[in-house]
């Protein structure tokens, strides 16, 4: 429906001030007009018992957030050069596209939205939803909003970036260039996001993505072309990945022992930082029949055994890295509602010599439980050389 622009803006203004207002998005540019930001998101928030309008303005790299009151001049904002204006209430989505002739093309659709007034929901993201990377990866829609089906992946990537950022803040990787290798990269959501994020910190970021599927390589090379970034992808088993210089090795949900292959490759190539969020794990499940006494009740129940053995697997991975001179922690990188696989092993190379108690704990664990983890087999000679175990 084509209507006069002033009438459409008045409709938007009335809706944004209504008690049923849920969210608004302003994006795109009108012909011959400039906007200071790529996109603006607005939502109602409750601050000290009072409703305010939270305005988050994004230039594609960072967000600026301010909270305003009902007397704010929204009409002015709606007329400030954005071509696409959407205001959603709980029951209606009012969408305006401003044509080259400055006409308002309006469409109204029925929706059923709830109003969330928490002001920390829009937490500061490491890469804005509207970042070009998410567009190229087909994770966001035309308005630069992450598609509902991709929201979990976006949050995983965002939290992974947050942890990389925190790690780099404490780590002395003060250099102009950085090399990142993503092992088991799949469709490279994380790979491209890490590249984009690090380009603000380093002059040159080199990226390699490894996945055994040819289809992943094809997909990822197309995305790299779209983004005009020099990321390299190979279709290979992680264990066949050629050696190369690597500062940060990442592996997000590389299946089963592929996580061990990734850690092994990273250690062999002297990665300064290793961040691995493991996926399903079967290897030790078959090795452990029951727990050594007096702990047998821990493995009697299948469900408990499965969870316990997953934790044993990750604890041993962490311990192996510790014995090899890495400072290691295991963190939950995202809430369990986004993925059940939410544990991340983070290892930073310090070359610290391991203590006798660490070696002893490791050896006792293997001998009491009668196990030999796959990673221990892969890194047998390194463990002998570095810790004598």
Residues of this chain that interact with ligand SAM (CB under 6 A) are 184-186, 189-190, 210-213, 216, 237-238, 252-255, 258, 261, 279
Nearest to 282 by CA among 251, 305, 249, 250: 305
Q: Which is nearer to ligand SAM, 261 or 314 (CB)?
A: 261
| Least Å from the CB of residue 259 to ligand SAM | 9
CB within 8 A of 28, min separation 6: which ones? 82, 83, 84, 143
| Least Å from the CB of residue 112 to ligand SAM | 31
| Least Å from the CB of residue 330 to ligand SAM | 18
Q: Which is nearer to ligand SAM, 117 or 255 (CB)?
A: 255
Asked if residue 14 lies in contact with residue 92, where contact means CB atoms within 8 angstroms, the answer is no
| Least Å from the CB of residue 213 to ligand SAM | 4
Pairing of the two strands 92-98 and 231-235 = unpaired
Nearest to 276 by CA among 148, 184, 153: 184
Pairing of the two strands 273-277 and 343-349 = antiparallel
| 50-58 sheet: strands from edge to edge | 2-3, 104-110, 92-98, 82-89, 21-29, 39-47, 50-58, 63-68
Q: How far is CA 212 from CA 183, 218, 267, 384, in A?
A: 10, 12, 20, 31
Q: Which is nearer to ligand SAM, 252 or 344 (CB)?
A: 252
List residues bridging with 89 in a β-sheet.
21
Q: Which is nearer to ligand SAM, 115 or 135 (CB)?
A: 135
| Least Å from the CB of residue 26 to ligand SAM | 31
Q: What is the CA radius of gyration of the chain?
A: 25
Q: Which is nearer to ligand SAM, 86 or 254 (CB)?
A: 254
| Least Å from the CB of residue 239 to ligand SAM | 6
Q: Which is nearer to ligand SAM, 78 or 189 (CB)?
A: 189
> Which pair of tokens denotes residue 15?
């809706």
Phi/psi of residue 144, nearest 5 degrees: 75, 25
Q: Which is nearer to ligand SAM, 237 or 307 (CB)?
A: 237
CA–CA gap between residue 318 and residue 337 (Å, rounded): 25
> Which conformational region is residue 388 in: left (phi greater than 0), alpha (psi within -120 to 50 degrees), or beta?
left
Nearest to 274 by CA among 234, 324, 338: 324
- Residue number, nearest CB to ligand SAM: 186
Q: Which is nearer to ligand SAM, 42 or 347 (CB)?
A: 347
| Least Å from the CB of residue 192 to ligand SAM | 11
| Least Å from the CB of residue 203 to ligand SAM | 26
Q: How far is CA 94 from CA 155, 178, 227, in A?
A: 27, 45, 32
Q: Which is nearer to ligand SAM, 57 or 191 (CB)?
A: 191
| Least Å from the CB of residue 110 to ligand SAM | 34
Task: Name the E strands within 104-258.
Answer: 104-110, 177-183, 204-211, 231-235, 248-252
């Amino acid at each position: 429906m084509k209507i006069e622009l002033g009438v459409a803006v008045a409709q938007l203004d009335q809706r944004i001030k209504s008690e049923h207002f849920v969210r608004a998005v302003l994006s795109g540019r009108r012909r011959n007009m400039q906007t200071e930001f790529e996109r603006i998101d607005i939502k109602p928030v409750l601050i000290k018992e009072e409703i305010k309008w939270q305005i988050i303005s994004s230039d594609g790299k960072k967000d600026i957030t301010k909270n305003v009151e009902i007397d704010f001049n929204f009409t002015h904002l709606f007329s400030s050069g954005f071509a696409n204006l959407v205001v959603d209430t709980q029951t209606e989505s009012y969408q305006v596209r401003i044509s080259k002739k400055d006409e308002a093309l309006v469409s109204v659709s029925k929706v059923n939205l709830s109003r969330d007034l928490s002001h920390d929901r829009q937490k500061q993201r490491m890469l804005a939803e509207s970042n070009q990377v998410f567009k190229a990866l087909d994770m966001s829609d035309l308005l630069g909003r992450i598609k509902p089906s991709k929201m979990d992946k976006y949050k995983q990537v965002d939290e992974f970036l947050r942890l990389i950022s925190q790690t780099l803040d404490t780590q002395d990787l003060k250099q102009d260039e950085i090399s990142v290798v993503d092992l088991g990269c799949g469709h490279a959501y994380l790979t491209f996001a890490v590249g984009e994020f690090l380009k603000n910190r380093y002059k040159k970021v080199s990226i390699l993505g490894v996945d055994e599927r040819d289809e992943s390589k094809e997909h990822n090379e197309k995305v790299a072309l779209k983004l005009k970034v020099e990321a390299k992808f190979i279709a290979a088993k992680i264990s066949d990945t050629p050696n190369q210089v690597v500062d940060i090795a990442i592996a997000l949900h590389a299946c089963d022992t592929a996580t061990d292959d990734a850690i092994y490759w990273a250690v062999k190539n002297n990665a300064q930082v290793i961040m691995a969020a493991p996926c399903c794990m079967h290897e030790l499940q078959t090795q452990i029949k029951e727990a050594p006494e007096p702990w047998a009740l821990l493995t009697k129940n299948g469900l408990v055994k499965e969870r316990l053995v997953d934790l044993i697997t990750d604890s041993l991975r962490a311990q192996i890295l510790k014995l090899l001179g890495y400072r290691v922690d295991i963190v939950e990188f995202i809430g369990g509602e986004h993925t059940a696989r939410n544990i991340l092993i983070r290892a930073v190379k310090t070359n610290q010599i391991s203590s006798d108690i660490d070696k002893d704990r490791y050896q006792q664990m293997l001998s009491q439980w009668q196990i030999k983890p796959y990673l221990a087999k892969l890194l047998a000679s390194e463990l002998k050389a570095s810790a004598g175990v």
